[in-house]
Amino acid sequence: MKLSQLEPGQSGIIKEFTDLEMSIKLMEMGCLPGESIVVERIAPLGDPMAITVSGYSLSLRKHEASTIIMQ
């Protein structure tokens, strides 16, 4: 299951990443394996999405979210 497939309100725990370069940026922003993520909302036009991770809100594009594999 990819993060991009979650619906608003759903949550999950990060398992791994599929893109090394992207994973570095994501980890810098607090998206680490083992962290839990809540999908807060999807932008009105369907992209990007907003998530809550380690206590704050983060927005990312869907294709970026698709590199995060959830447990």
**Site residues for other proteins per CB under 8 A:** 20-21, 23-30, 32-33, 40-41, 43-48, 50, 54-61, 64
CB 36, CB 27: distance < 8 Å: no
Instruction: State the nearest-atom distance from the C-beta of 5 to other proteins, in Å.
Output: 18
Instruction: State the nearest-atom distance from the C-beta of 35 to other proteins, in Å.
Output: 9
Select 57 or 71, whichever has its Cβ closest to other proteins.
57
Q: Rounded CA gap, 42 and 48, in Å?
A: 6
Residue 48: asked if its preceding bond is cis (omega within 30°), the reply is: yes
Give the three-class secondary structure for 16: strand
Instruction: Report the Cα 11 to chain-centroid distance in Å.
Output: 10
Instruction: State the nearest-atom distance from the C-beta of 58 to other proteins, in Å.
Output: 6
Select 15 or 61, whichever has its Cβ closest to other proteins.
61
